[in-house]
Structure 1
């Protein structure tokens, strides 16, 4: 063998490597040996993006050359005739015949391609299925290409606009600086649409961006139109086209890489392309922002591609440390190891905080996610006061077995020192945005460091801290820096949790028969969208009923109905005393039962009508209620059980509470005014479509694992609305004209800002019935005041306005919110006597 050649063993395959000292990038002196090393070390993150996709290669046999004398490039589709037999391959039928393509499914293929000087690897947006047929695309791509006079900064701005649109479509977006000029954006697809359909969607998105931003965006390929603008190239979604693979080198003058980035990096003012050495540092630190988009195929090579413990394993020798060091995926498990690992992963998700007396004392905070313990080192320990922030440095993922590790790591080893468990328990993941933000509720031990209380923590990636140019080392250090915060909005604190539990539990034994405890406050959902629902998590989907929320407390003698803000609704809805007949008598005998539900009024087609419900709200006199009931009957839609026969179920999961609800309200089918609506465990898109078909308000998505948190707004419950509704405070009114001259022409509305100060939100003058106008006119005239409650009402809207006390809340439907915080095209829906003015906030 020539001295310039050598053999290398890669995953059991022997490869002959030659000309390793040939310079491939003259500008930097980067050699072929360094190119091969890069692809070998990047295999773990590149392969998940390329697996089972036909690979087209661009080869620079003599290197990329110089600006004056560029190297010759060969574009190769067919598999080379001399390709080793072990290279995986698949066929594509073209009009002019069948072509065989290599599949980059294992590291040895990457090394072999690098040996052939294939600097760039390009793949389509689809994969071959197990039978070798072409699947529908599993990702959408947009190539943001700057024209003359535009650059990466302009591409970043357009990328953020694309992200907003795709987010509204329920799609996460993963940016990649292309290593050439622009940015590639990827969004995952479920494979239900053809390439032609996705191509059309991408084209329409590009056109929409061009319409909204004509001075910055162009969707037409003509170069004459692109000067100073960014081309949103949608065409690479065509099934016959390809895009440079994430983590591929580029054949530019310098060895840049198509590098996946975080959105914090995209938004930084010093955004630039990365070269291969910078990317290798990120890989070694476990930084892989596009990881959620990778779906390796089956087999050992796929396991290696998705090996999240590669960095952890590389830093530890199982012969020299007592820490658990699982074998690499290609190694065979010892008897029982696989079953033990499955048992760990199938249990309720866990967290562990370990006190680590290494060279510097710190606490390791670890959360279970995707089969590993995602880890941060917290130098000053977890914050135990709300609003307090602590630095949290992201470290390598740890194996699940580390969750129970305690012991002494030898001082000469990585992380040498004493490790002990400070607290451990289960977690509820409320939000997980890879590389950006994590919100979780930790339920620790009674005697643990968290004090035996459920704690809601937020990990937030800090992004760039400060301005100016920095070294590569400084940039990489910033990538590891997060902030850990104990959030202000906490689950029930110790006192309220215990008092609620005692209060609920005491009703059966300590209270006289029929005596009721203080009412619980309802748990609140967070306004969200389809994109907030992670399919890998277990969710239940309820229809969102257009009514008034109520907590119903049932004893053997009576039913008490309480609104969200604690008002007694019992005299307003006497027909809902039917609930007592629905509860199992044995349960009532044991103690009080508390359910959560929505009071609705149905129209002629059995759909909830908030307008009809308005005719009942606020009535308390028996004669008024009796008269209103003749035309409007109400129903209670029960969807949760909080107390059963005196026993609190607040700490039970949603799924368990629902099962208990059906057992407790066994006689519901015999009651006229009480129903338990179904909860669907299927697909969120199906639930949303069904709610639209039924013309309902939207969908309530609830995690099966969620506990009930009275009075708290949680992200384990997500409300997805079909139309935009907003609560607002009435601050004044203007008289009508013509037939409405004796009543109201329009209401002036305001919404409190973050500091609680009322900010003007606009006027609403449509959606009123004649009865509503008369009732509002009477009510508002008795609430008059001399000055406007909000300071920023425009002069045009102040003219002829009658100001009122800001204590009435109403609800409107609207088209959008303008840049200056005004409701556009609002339509009146009704008063909300169940809401306090101080509770109102923008729902965005």
Structure 2
């Protein structure tokens, strides 16, 4: 078509006149209408299945898209006009006060006609219509990951992976689509059994959960003022009234970009970028379509949709009807999971009064299984009506009545699954290792089908529940999948801890043996010395061989030594700074034992989701005026997690093995006022890989590994204490900043940071994300007080130095980042906050 202005064509038996073929549609690239038509013809086998039977809204640029500086005029069209060819399939949709006729992009002829009239963008809802034009339930879910100011594709990729982890836990493996605009769309196929209101509510809850777990990165509220430095998870496009650009559609931007389906491997590439139409045309030549799993045009439905027709019993003949979903999602020839026996009654419930679960609740067996899939979780299963009713617990069972955990209702499992342990092969539904965490029997107090369950579980000796536990499972949303699990306040017998401390007196004779075989004894001192804290070394799991280690969570806060000497209480930072006035809830002498002591720990602030929040800690730092302290204390209360005891009532303990110091610490903590803000950091007696997986689920920084026989080395860094981090973090020194633009005009655009090297700063990168509005105001005030005319950096590139303001290198902050580049820069650094407990001389790159 490229050399002609007008051409009469026959497309699938439909006659079309294509006009103005040489017209420039995209001026900045010189792309013509003929090239647009060629593109849509090339991608038709992939776009049409994604758009078929969905009312299509169009965006038209009759006179071209214009340029970035002078955009062309766009016409937004829902209703078909009188010139529409009669053969175009259409559907009439009744709106609140009018009706519209929409085209259905079900064939190449319709797609070609749309390209001819310069309908460059095609938008469709997540639901289809049937042969009578009736709206069906949605068959796919979509999340629009929209980067706010200061963020881009790398942050969207990070959020996409987090969302995928949650969706995979409930059997949905989403497909990413780089939108061709700014962000990423995530699509997951659905089985069409839920109304759009339910799907939208689930998507909203998922967005809120991501925001709660990752408040520095994710926002679920549409307000523009909240989106700086974050990715908006736009869940609203699941509404029955909303549409999303269809995969493979062109974009009406200055360049002919495409909403392009991608693979997860591509998303992991640091070179990921949006694709234009020429790149997509090359990709489709091999016939591979990442979106096929959602669009279904390959003839193979996604695992969670199944494929076989149901019989009137709701599943394959002879199989319990409640197990239809279970069977459809699995291939017995490819997974070792048990398959249900045939020949069970077609009715899935007992008859008579027994069917009324509220009046005569049943009991039976239970099993809780560890599932090491892409994201570690527990699977909680209760026998009911001949099957195991199942929930996935991403954060495990709750340890206290004060904190509920998410429970995702999944498909029923056969009773045989209660004994299953094994490896589900890669590529299969639920791939990963399954083991039994605890099992036994339960008594049911209440079973309101699809609404609420209250049950008392009796586990096995040595099982994860450590005895008898009473739980409630409560549905929290319109979607059947949205539940929570609650540990009841009233427990049978005397409740014990769900996670035992490995140093407890009853834990093991080996611990007592270690204490009696030690070679050192406590030294008697009249008063405690001035200690500096022992420091840990960054390590990996490979460093753990050959020794016995104790594992703790790595608390994301400020290190502190708490001392009482001659009656005076003091909180000292890692650098020795007095923090006593800043944390009055911790420095109240009344909550501590009356004798002299020195204890080591971490001050932690918790977010609304109950997780350690470094952002909350920032609100408490450097405050000394009582009014400021009390105001900050009201919005950001803190807790103290103690993990070591250095001096106790006249005895110096630093020469004792860690196990013995932990035992002394346990006795010490019993003298601390109950119900207050001081707690003992727990030792977790699980495999370190399991603990790391759990830390990842909880959004924590990582774990600490400490040799059980290690001595306390004040002020020294030791390989006896290792930090096993889930992500890389780096302390940095601020050397400059660049002004912001757009929404950040008049504020900070990016911080220029480095690592000290011989009296100068070795440039380490530009940090432009992770900031809260209040942090930007605080940073701007600080940097203006430290401005200087010369750059403190040894080697900053000219492009980063452009427009920069230089500051005296005195302030220390902390960032997280992806990896080090070959030039010694951090890739994708994200601001975490100031480190007032550190000085520039403390900062160095780990080796």
Name the TM-score class by shorter chain. Answer: 0.3 to 0.5
TM-score after normalising by structure 1 = 0.43
TM-score (norm 2): 0.43
Higher helix fraction (1 or 2)? 1
